[in-house]
Amino acid sequence: MADDQSTQTPAKLNNATSTTLEPFDAWKPITSDKYCPFCQVATEYAPFPPEKPPAPTSDHPRPSKLSPRTYVVLSTPAVMAFLGASTLAGGHLLLCTRAHRPQMDAVDAHEAAELGRWLRVLSAAVARTTGLLAWNIVQSNGAEAAQTAFHTHFHVIPKPKGASASASPGSNFGRGYRLGLDHLTAPTLAQNLRRNIAKMVAEMGA
């Protein structure tokens, strides 16, 4: 079984192969382009039409292409989205540029438009998939702003019913109690997200 992201040590990361990811949000900086987890996802997963996602049996979205397993739900020439390896809630997605852009000021105009376009679609798809009608969208730039992986990305984080800042201090805006991704439920969750993204594209005219 592949190492869970929470158990990977710096020594293991230094010896990582091209198909091994660094942990996503372990609250330590990831500054090396060579081991950028987002770039490795972009390299391994080619674009597919959002309105016609690959079948679950297809090799295209196969999670085991990378370690830890990666569940891609959106893959276009400009942007990608996948389930977070360190999650605050079921359906927690990461949306990133396909090209390596360390912070938002490095994103070009086309990429910025694509990020905005797909944040809208992903928000609707996450709400429909999870049944949760509240969510956070979080994006950080720079270590002082709590950015740990220096590749531009957004978090779309559904909020469980009854959750509130007062009831769960620090649980908003990307911070809180994180769990490893449940690999038993992740394949079905990713499949349902891809399916609902396709529906949102049709319904929203995206």
Return the active site residues: 153
Q: Which of 28, 7, 142 is nearest to 20 (CA)?
A: 7
Cα–Cα distance for residue pair 20/35, rounded to 1 Å: 8
Burial 58-74 (b: 16+ CB within 10 A, else e): eeebbbebbbbbbbbbb
Q: Angle at Cα 41 formed by Cα 38 and Cα 45, nearest 5°?
A: 145
Cα–Cα distance for residue pair 151/116, rounded to 1 Å: 17
Cα–Cα distance for residue pair 48/20, rounded to 1 Å: 23
Torsion 194-31-40-46 (CA) sign:
positive
Cβ–Cβ under 8 Å, residues 111 and 79: yes
Cα–Cα distance for residue pair 99/42, rounded to 1 Å: 8
